[in-house]
Amino acid sequence: MSARWASEIIGRVSAAVFAAIRVVRHPRPIHPGGTIFTGHVEWVNPGHRPSGVEWIDNPPISGRQAVTARLSRSVGLPSPLPDVIGLAFKFETERGVADLLLASSWLGLPGRFLLRPARSIDGVLGSLMPYRGDAGPVVLSARTHNRDNRSWDIDLFHATASSTWSRFAVVTLATDGLDDREDLRFDPIVNPLPGAATYDWTRRVRERSYRTARRSTTVSGGASPNP
C-alpha cells in the first residue's frame, strides 16, 4: 500500500471517529476543557544545530514573541487518571499568528511519533508528525523545567526523525486566572510556523479530521479544531 493511500485511509478513519464523538460532545470532540495561559517565547542557543525551519533558526530581532497557550486533556478524564495531555501554542510572529500542537509522547524512537497517556504535564510533549524543513523532516518537543502555582517555564527542542534533541527556546507562561475560551482555536495547517512546510501525507492524515472538527463548531463560531 502506498504512503498516499495509507495516509488517506488514516485521515478518513480519524474523521469518522471525530464525527461520531461530536454527536455526544459538542462543540469540541476532543480536548473538551482546558486552561488558558499567556506569556512569551524567548530563543536560546542561536545558531546551534540549525533545523532548516525559519521560525526556529531565525528568531526575531527582539529575541522573543508573545504566545497564548491552552493546556487540556484529550478524553477529558479527571486527574489523576492518565489521559493524553495536549498543549497548544499560538505565537504572535512577524508574519501573523502561528499554531503549534503538542501531545504527550516519548523522547526516543519510535515513541516520539506515538501518543502517551500521562497523569501530569511534566513529561515529554511532542509534535508527533514531522514538519518539512529545508534540510528534511523536523519534529518538535517540549519539556517543563519549572512550574509553580502561577508560572510555568517550558523548554522547546527540535530534532530530525532520528537525531538527538536540540534546545532552541524557552516558553514562559502564566495563568492570570484566565477562563477557557470557546473562540480560541488552533490549526497548524492553516497557521503554520514560518518556514515549516507540511508533507502531503501529514496533511492528508490531519485535514479530514480538522475539517470535521471545524464543522462541529459552526454553531458557536469556532474556526478550527482542538485543543
The answer to pTM > 0.85 is no
Residue 224 clears pLDDT 60, i.e. is over it = no
In the block, residue with C-alpha cell 497523569: 119
In a domain, 220, yes or no: no
**Cα–Cα distances in Å, from 202 out to 49, 141, 187?**
25, 17, 13
**pLDDT tens-digit profile of 75-88?**
767 778 888 899 99
In a domain, 182, yes or no: yes
Interior CA angle at 189 toward 170 and 54, to 5°?
Answer: 45
Read off the pLDDT band of 172 (50, 70, 90).
Answer: very high
In a domain, 208, yes or no: no
Residue 97 clears pLDDT 60, i.e. is over it = yes
In a domain, 8, yes or no: no
When divided into structural domains, the chain yields a total of 1
Residue 25: what pLDDT? 45
In a domain, 212, yes or no: no
The CATH number that applies at residue 118 is 2.40.180.10
In a domain, 146, yes or no: yes
130: domain range? 32-198
Measured distance CA(31)–CA(74) in Å, rounded: 4
Residue 159 clears pLDDT 80, i.e. is over it = yes
Residue 31: what pLDDT? 47
In a domain, 14, yes or no: no
In a domain, 82, yes or no: yes
Residue 70: what pLDDT? 92
**pLDDT tens-digit profile of 64-78?**
999 999 998 887 677
